[in-house]
Amino acid sequence: MEQLKLTTIADLNALGTYSVLLVALEINIPSTPTIYVVNNSENINFQGNEYMAFPFEIGEISAGKGETPNFQILLDNTSRAMSQYVMTYDAYLKQNGIDGNGITCTAYVLNTNDLSEAVLTEYFQLTNFNTDNKTATFNLGTESLFNKTYPPRKMYANFCSFKFKDARCGYTGELLTCNKTLSDCRARKNSKRFGGFMGLGGGYRE
């Protein structure tokens, strides 16, 4: 465990103090700018990044039998900014696949008397999310082997499991999107490398 400065330890143990302990989140959603938010009444600068004052709640950690521990982060979605991020991410996943493109979140506990270090740092991975008109809810947890895809590659009749433009896809043209179907692959003149299994579930597909 990282050694805290003596001044920070003194602040944490003081009976009364001017310092505020704040929870800050760094949320990395592939394809969107990194989100820096802090549950405070004004913005905070930490490690060269400006954490925006933004209302959010952190739920209780639940750890049922046979489940990995997980908890919820509820971010305010009144401005619908989070919905926009989530929709952009959804479109990104359709093009690029989920492998290596999960949402990660770093939670910091900060002591405002000394913002050169975090009192506590924890890393989480997103397990699922949803949004409504008031909140964006992210379920975060640790990586579970039970959630790993096995076998690593599944067989679908009309869905290519390759990442668009990666080595297995091999497309080098100008188009930027692909909806993973054979017809889209043909439109890109790349159907020789289509990653679906057309013979499955009733034969040839469009």
Binding positions for another protein, rule: CB under 8 A: 14-22, 39-42, 44, 112
Angstrom distance (rounded) from CA 68 to CA 16: 37
Give min distance, CB of 78 to another protein, in A.
Answer: 9
Nearer Cβ to another protein (19/106): 19
DSSP readout, 117-135?
Answer: SEEEEEEEEEEEEEE-SSE
Give min distance, CB of 5 to another protein, in A.
Answer: 17
Give min distance, CB of 96 to another protein, in A.
Answer: 37
Give min distance, CB of 47 to another protein, in A.
Answer: 17
Nearer Cβ to another protein (54/85): 54
Nearer Cβ to another protein (38/178): 38
Instruction: Please report, for residues 4, 6, 50, 139, 170, the alpha-carbon distance to residue 117 in angstroms, rounded to integers and kept in the order given.
Output: 8, 12, 15, 26, 44
* Residue 81 host element (H or E): helix 81-96
Nearer Cβ to another protein (44/105): 44
Q: Please, which residues have CB within 8 angstroms of residue 193's CB and are 6 or more apart in sequence?
A: 162, 168, 169, 170, 171, 185
Angstrom distance (rounded) from CA 55 to CA 197: 47
Give min distance, CB of 16 to another protein, in A.
Answer: 5
Nearer Cβ to another protein (115/157): 115
Angstrom distance (rounded) from CA 93 to CA 24: 26
Nearer Cβ to another protein (18/204): 18
Structural contact between residues 103 and 126, judged by C-beta atoms closer than 8 angstroms: yes
**How many beta carbons lie within 10 A of that of residue 100, not counting itself?**
8
Give min distance, CB of 69 to another protein, in A.
Answer: 25
